[in-house]
């Protein structure tokens, strides 16, 4: 008879040990791909404009923008004052939860464009490039014009 008293807890213990473990929330975040909190990126409230992949470099990028930037791009008009655009690029990595998929790995760079009103011209474009482990401002301006053109040339992804 006694043994049945032992059996029940033993059975419960067995069931508990068999049930799966749930990893805690923090461990499920893609940390290496996450933006430094100091950027306060999400506060800017930017929306996705499009996304792209560079096969040669093994990177993937997402272009974000404010409403004005999206609408200007959709209308195919030149830059208007007040646009905010951000192009974020990651090294790709294999998705360890889905064989056949690649997802953002290490954060590589952040490019920011702001446009302001300019007398005589459509808008003045300010371009900033952050990269490296600390996402520091990159002082090199050699390719700025090329990058500005590249970013403005992106066609928005169709989102009905």
Q: Which residues bind other proteins (CB under 8 A)?
A: 1, 20-26, 28-30, 33-35, 37, 41-42, 45, 47-48, 50-56, 60, 62, 64, 74-76, 92, 95, 97-104, 154-155, 157-160
Q: How far is the CB of 32 from other proteins (least distance, A)?
A: 9
Distance CA 125, CA 106 (A): 28
Out of 11, 13, 101, 143, point to the residue binding ligand HEC (CB under 6 A).
Answer: 101
Q: Which of 66, 113, 60 is nearest to 86 (CA)?
A: 113
- Report how far residue 123's alpha carbon sits from residue 78's, in angstroms, rounded to the nearest whole number: 9
**CA–CA dist 147, 159 (Å, integer):** 25
> Cβ of residue 53: shortest distance to other proteins, in angstroms?
4
DSSP code of 157? P
Q: How far is the CB of 127 from other proteins (least distance, A)?
A: 20
Residue 37 binding partner per list other proteins, ligand HEC, none, with a CB distance cut-off of 5 to 8 Å that depends on partner kind: other proteins
Cβ atoms 69, 156 nearer than 8 A: no
Report which of 98, 107, 128 is spatially closest to residue 60, judged by C-alpha positions.
107
Q: Taking CB under 6 A as the rule, does residue 48 contact ligand HEC?
A: no
List of residues contacting ligand HEC (CB under 6 A)? 98, 101
């Amino acid at each position: 008879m006694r043994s049945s008293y032992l059996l029940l807890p033993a059975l419960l213990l067995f069931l508990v040990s068999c049930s799966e473990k749930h990893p805690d929330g923090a461990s499920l975040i893609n940390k290496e791909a996450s933006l430094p909190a100091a950027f306060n990126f999400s506060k800017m409230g930017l929306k996705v404009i499009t996304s792209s992949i560079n096969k040669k470099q093994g990177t993937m990028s997402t272009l974000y923008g404010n409403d004005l930037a999206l609408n200007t791009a959709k209308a195919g008009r030149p830059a208007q004052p007040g646009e905010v655009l951000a192009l974020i690029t990651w090294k790709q990595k294999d998705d360890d939860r889905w064989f056949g998929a690649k997802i953002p790995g290490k954060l590589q760079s952040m490019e920011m464009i702001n446009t302001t009103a300019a007398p005589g011209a459509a808008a003045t474009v300010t371009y900033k490039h952050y990269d490296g482990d600390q996402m520091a401002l990159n002082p090199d301006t050699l390719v700025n014009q090329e990058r500005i053109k590249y970013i403005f040339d992106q066609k928005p992804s169709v989102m009905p």
